Every structure is written in structure tokens, then in C-alpha cells.
């Protein structure tokens, strides 16, 4: 039975009441956060509406400290893979809107293999499969074929080890099929939790049903998918309302199924074909967005936070310090975009272009990105900068393959033992990436980071095993180790 557990009057009342919170209340709330104590809705609301510079400074500091204590310096890497832009929904913010006239496309299995080959050559091991909603052109059987094809591919340097899925809300039966196919996390954005705003931007199609969409994770959990990832598209409604909606949704799942969101994504509305950004009055400026990311990190310290290439280079750097634990790299938001970009790059080497390749890509009328990418650096460039900034790029997929999903992962995170699992796994996957894709300079850089970070593994046996496994990776005696 579908349930609407988001009560607009309650959230709006919280936000209004939060404006009355005094300095002492905010300080006590942040004291609780530092102890990893759960915050009340009113405490979260007070942090959101606060604009006192001193409190903001502490919010950012507490968020950063929580990030460091739980996630260390690890940043999980992934890439989106768009397989179909056919869609029956008329969403005002999306270029895949069924009312937009463009040459739609879905990948054949051979085209899919070409995309995956390119992504594997970038070093990716974790993909997020993306598709529009269209039962005729993109039925569940097609999605399942895509997943099966990806997992069946083997390369000299291994394979794609985890396919997360970001597709439309569907039935319990379909979620059972996704579970059986071996997906990682099922990701779905509510877009906005404010129902009048949701109704305003979803003009037609199955997605217009707010409550059906809201209960998708219940159906997924009932089908056995215990790793689910939520999110909203900031800019569609009051962003503070949507943060509280996320928190209430997370609590709903925790109470009913014993575990909330595995990840929360924080996409921000940005330009796309067929929409005018000026039509959206709730756009979120940078400082407010940074506060939102920090407050989410404080409110759900053990939940992964994902940032896409909607954000530019500098904003991504800033938000990594405040709570983001996963980022995409080298991304394309076009169906078939990786192969088409590769073809343009080959063409440019044969005949030097007169304009930047990314500009050419954008102007190609056959391409229709779901949104315009604001960080178009290569995956390697992003990975190198992460290391320069003291982070460990992680290609780990061990928890899923080791059965540490849902409440089992959360128990590990909350017990503080995550550092003896995720940290060594991150180092081993970085060593593997270095040997498979890095040149001498990259290998020296990664070796220095690994040597330093191994000392942070507190369990003696795991530390020694990690050292042995990394040596095996470097001498070619083994690969794909994890604890």
C-alpha cells in the first residue's frame, strides 16, 4: 500500500519555528553532531535556516571533521552510463522530456560494449546505469540485458565489478529481477519532496504520481534490494524543505526496514536542452549549496554522499571537504557519448580542430545530454588531482561482493570498523589502478600515498595482509584483493 509520509505543513512549520532558534540551541545541536548523536528535525532545520557567519563556520568545521573521521581521505570513483533517452514523462527540467523533438536513441548490445570498453580503459570499475522511462523502447528486459552484458565483459585489466542502477520507479516484481541480476545500489531521486512543486514540474507521464514515486524504495526493499540511494534535484523547490524531506524519507526506511539510504546524491539544477533555467525561481547559489551539503553530512554521518559533474571543478573541490564521499569522473550524459567523444578525439588528431572538442561535442545536433557537464576533465586528470590534494581515489566494490550491504554495512560504519575494511580496500584498488593504467610518474605518486596511508590501518593482521596483497599486485602475482 502506497503511503504519503511527507507532510508539507509539518515541514513548513519546522522551518518557520527554526528561525526562532537562538545561538545556544544551534551550539548544542552542533555539540550533539560532534558526538555522532542523532539530531532532531528541529535541530536540522535550525542549522539549515541559520545565516550567522560564526555558526556557519562551525557547521563547515563539524561536517569536515565527521567526513574525515568516518571516511578518512577515501573518495569512491564511478561513471554514469546512459543507455537510452526514450522517455514517456514530461518533466520540465529534463532534456529527455517526451515533448522535446530530437533523435532519440538506445544502445544496441554491441554499442553498449563499446561504451563499457572505453569506461574500463579510463579505469572505472563501478558504473551507474541510467535510462529514461519508456516501457516500449526501454523495458525491464532491456535493462536486464544491459546489466548481463556489462558483467559478462572481461578485460586484460579485469572487469566492471559493480553496476548501480538509476532508472524510473517500477514494480516489486521488476525490483526482484534487478536484485537477481546482481545490481549494486538502486538509485532514484525524488526530485522534490514538496508535492505542489513536484506536481508543477512533472507535467505528464507515470512520474507525475508523487506517491507512487515516493514509495519506490519500499517496493525495492520488499524485493530484497537493501542498498538504495536517494536524492533531490536542488532548485525545483525550497532546498531546506527538500533536505528535511530527505531526512524524513531516510527515517521512514530505517523504521520500516532497519536501514535507510546507502547514499544520498545532491544534484543541483543546471541548464539542459529544451528548458530555460530562468523559469525556476528556487535556484540554489553556491554558499547555500555548500551549507546544504554540510548539514546533510552532519545529519546522516554514515550515509555516502554523491556529487556528479553537474558541479564545476572548484565547487567539487570545496564540497569534497564538507562531506562528499563519491564523485563521477570523465562523465558523459549522452547516450553513446563515450564512443562519440572518443571518435571526435581521434578525428582531432588526424585533422587539428579549429575549436575545442567539448564545444564541438555540445554543438553536435545528434547529441542530447540529459544535462550539461560542468566538470569535463578526464578521469585521469581528476584522479591525479585527488591524490595531489591528499585523497585516495578508491575503485573498491568489495562490500557488495562480500555481502556487506544494507544494515550489515551500516553496522560496520557505525561501529568504527569501516577504516579496517574500506581503507585497505581503497589502497589495494589504487595500487591496481596504478599498475594497470598509470605511467611511472603516476606509480611513484600513488606509491608514496599508499606507503603513508597503510600506517593508518589499525588492525595489525589486516595491515600486514594489505601490504602483502599490494606487493602481489605490483609484481603481477594477483589482483582484485579485498578484505
Per residue, the 3-state secondary structure of 317-347, as one string, reads: HHHHHHCCCEEECCCCCCCCHHHHHHHHHHH
Percent of the chain with pLDDT over 90: 84
Beta strands at 263-265 and 90-91: parallel, antiparallel or unpaired: unpaired
Average pLDDT (470-475) is 94
State the Cα–Cα distance between residues 326 and 328, nearest whole angstrom: 7
Cα dihedral 229/232/233/237 (nearest 10): 180
Q: What is the DSSP letter of 282?
A: T
Inter-residue contact 269 to 277 (CB < 8 Å)? yes
The pairing of beta strand 304-307 with beta strand 186-187: unpaired
Mean pLDDT for 434-454 is: 95
Q: Inform me whether the pLDDT recorded for 407 exceeds 80.
A: no
H/E stretch holding 393 reads strand 392-394
Which range (89-98, 417-426, 453-462, 466-475) has the least confidence?
Answer: 417-426
Cell triple for 321:
571537504
The overall average pLDDT reported for the chain is 92
Percent of the chain clearing pLDDT 70 (strictly above): 95
> What value does the mean pLDDT take over residues 368-394?
94
What confidence tens digit (pLDDT) does each residue in 250-306 have?
999 999 999 999 999 999 999 888 899 999 999 999 999 999 999 999 999 999 999
Looking at residue 351, its pLDDT comes to: 54
Instruction: Supply the pLDDT for residue 363.
Output: 35
By the 10 Å C-beta count (0-12 exposed, 13-18 middle, 19+ buried), 311 is classed as buried
Mean pLDDT, residues 372-392 taken together: 95
Q: List, as own/partner pairs, every contact residues 452-461 make where C-beta atoms lie below 8 angstroms and the sequence separation is at least 24, other chains included.
A: 453/73, 453/392, 453/423, 453/427, 454/424, 454/427, 456/72, 456/419, 456/423, 457/419, 457/420, 457/423, 457/424, 458/419, 458/420, 459/420
CA dihedral 412, 415, 417, 419 (to 10 degrees): 100
Which residue carries 517496493 as its cell?
Answer: 219
**Which class for 102: exposed (0-12), middle (13-18), buried (19 or more C-beta within 10 A)?**
middle
Kindly tell me if the per-residue pLDDT of 162 is higher than 80: yes
What is the pLDDT at residue 359?
A: 36
- SS3 at position 272: coil
| DSSP category for residue 480 | -
Rounded average pLDDT over 176-200: 98
pLDDT surpasses 90 at 384? yes
Looking at residue 23, its pLDDT comes to: 97
Nearest C-alpha neighbor of 188 from the set 164, 223, 163, 222: 164
pLDDT number for residue 221: 97
* 86 conformational bin, left if phi > 0, alpha if psi -120 to 50, beta if neither: beta
Cell numbers for 128, please give them.
551507474
Give the up-direction half-sphere exposure of residue 35: CA atoms within 13 A in the CB hemisphere.
8
E strand or H helix that includes residue 77: strand 74-84
pLDDT value, residue 129: 98
User: CA geometry: angle at 363 spanning 362 and 366, to 5°?
Assistant: 90
pLDDT band for position 348 (50/70/90)?
Answer: low
pLDDT tens digit string along 197-241? 999 999 999 999 999 999 999 999 999 999 999 999 999 999 999
> Cβ contacts of residue 375 below 8 Å, gap of 6+?
309, 311, 312, 313, 316, 331, 382
C-alpha cell at 39: 539530531
Amino acid at each position: 500500500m502506497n503511503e504519503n509520509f511527507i507532510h508539507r505543513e509539518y515541514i513548513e512549520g519546522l522551518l518557520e519555528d527554526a528561525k526562532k532558534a537562538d545561538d545556544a540551541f544551534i551550539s548544542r545541536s552542533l555539540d550533539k553532531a560532534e558526538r555522532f548523536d542523532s539530531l532532531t528535525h528541529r535541530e536540522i532545520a535550525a542549522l539549515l535556516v541559520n545565516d550567522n557567519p560564526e555558526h556557519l563556520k562551525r557547521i563547515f568545521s563539524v561536517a569536515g571533521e565527521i567526513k574525515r573521521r568516518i571516511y578518512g581521505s577515501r573518495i569512491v570513483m564511478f561513471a554514469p552510463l546512459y543507455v537510452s533517452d526514450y522517455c514517456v514523462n514530461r518533466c520540465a527540467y529534463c532534456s529527455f522530456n517526451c515533448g522535446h523533438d530530437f533523435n532519440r536513441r538506445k544502445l544496441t548490445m554491441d554499442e553498449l560494449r563499446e561504451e563499457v570498453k572505453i569506461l574500463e580503459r579510463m579505469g572505472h570499475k563501478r558504473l551507474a546505469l541510467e535510462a529514461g522511462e519508456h516501457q516500449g523502447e526501454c523495458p525491464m528486459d532491456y535493462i536486464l540485458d544491459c546489466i548481463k552484458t556489462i558483467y559478462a565483459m572481461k578485460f586484460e585489466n579485469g572487469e566492471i565489478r559493480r553496476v548501480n542502477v538509476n532508472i524510473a520507479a517500477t514494480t516489486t516484481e521488476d525490483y526482484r529481477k534487478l536484485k537477481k541480476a546482481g545490481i549494486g545500489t538502486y538509485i532514484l531521486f525524488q526530485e522534490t519532496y514538496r508535492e505542489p512543486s513536484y506536481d508543477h514540474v512533472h507535467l505528464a507521464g507515470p512520474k507525475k504520481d508523487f506517491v507512487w514515486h515516493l514509495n519506490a524504495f519500499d517496493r525495492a526493499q520488499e524485493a530484497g534490494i537493501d542498498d538504495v540511494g536517494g536524492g533531490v534535484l536542488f532548485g525545483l523547490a525550497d532546498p531546506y524543505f527538500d533536505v528535511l524531506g530527505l531526512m524524513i524519507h531516510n527515517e521512514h526506511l530505517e523504521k520500516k526496514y532497519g536501514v535507510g539510504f546507502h547514499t544520498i546524491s545532491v544534484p543541483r539544477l543546471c541548464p539542459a536542452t529544451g528548458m530555460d533555467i530562468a523559469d525556476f525561481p528556487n535556484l540554489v547559489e553556491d554558499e547555500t549549496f555548500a551549507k546544504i551539503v554540510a548539514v546533510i553530512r552532519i545529519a546522516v554521518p554514515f550515509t555516502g554522499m554523491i556529487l556528479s559533474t553537474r558541479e564545476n571543478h572548484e565547487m567539487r573541490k570545496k564540497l569534497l571537504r564538507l562531506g562528499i564521499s563519491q564523485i563521477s569522473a570523465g562523465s558523459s550524459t549522452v547516450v553513446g557519448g563515450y564512443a562519440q567523444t572518443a571518435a571526435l578525439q581521434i578525428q582531432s588528431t588526424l585533422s587539428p580542430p579549429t575549436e575545442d572538442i567539448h564545444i564541438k561535442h555540445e554543438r553536435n545536433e545528434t547529441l542530447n545530454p540529459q544535462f550539461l557537464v560542468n566538470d569535463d576533465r578526464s578521469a585521469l586528470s581528476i584522479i591525479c588531482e585527488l591524490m595531489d590534494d591528499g585523497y585516495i581515489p578508491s575503485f573498491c566494490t568489495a562490500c557488495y561482493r562480500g555481502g556487506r550491504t544494507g544494515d550489515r554495512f551500516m553496522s560496520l560504519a557505525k561501529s568504527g570498523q569501516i577504516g579496517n575494511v574500506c581503507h585497505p580496500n581503497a589502497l589495494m584498488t589504487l595500487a591496481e589502478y596504478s599498475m594497470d593504467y598509470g605511467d611511472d610518474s603516476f606509480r611513484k605518486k600513488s606509491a608514496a600515498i599508499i606507503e603513508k596511508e597503510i600506517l593508518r590501518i589499525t588492525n595489525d593482521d589486516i595491515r600486514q595482509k594489505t601490504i602483502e596483497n599490494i606487493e602481489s599486485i605490483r609484481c603481477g602475482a594477483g589482483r582484485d584483493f579485498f578484505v
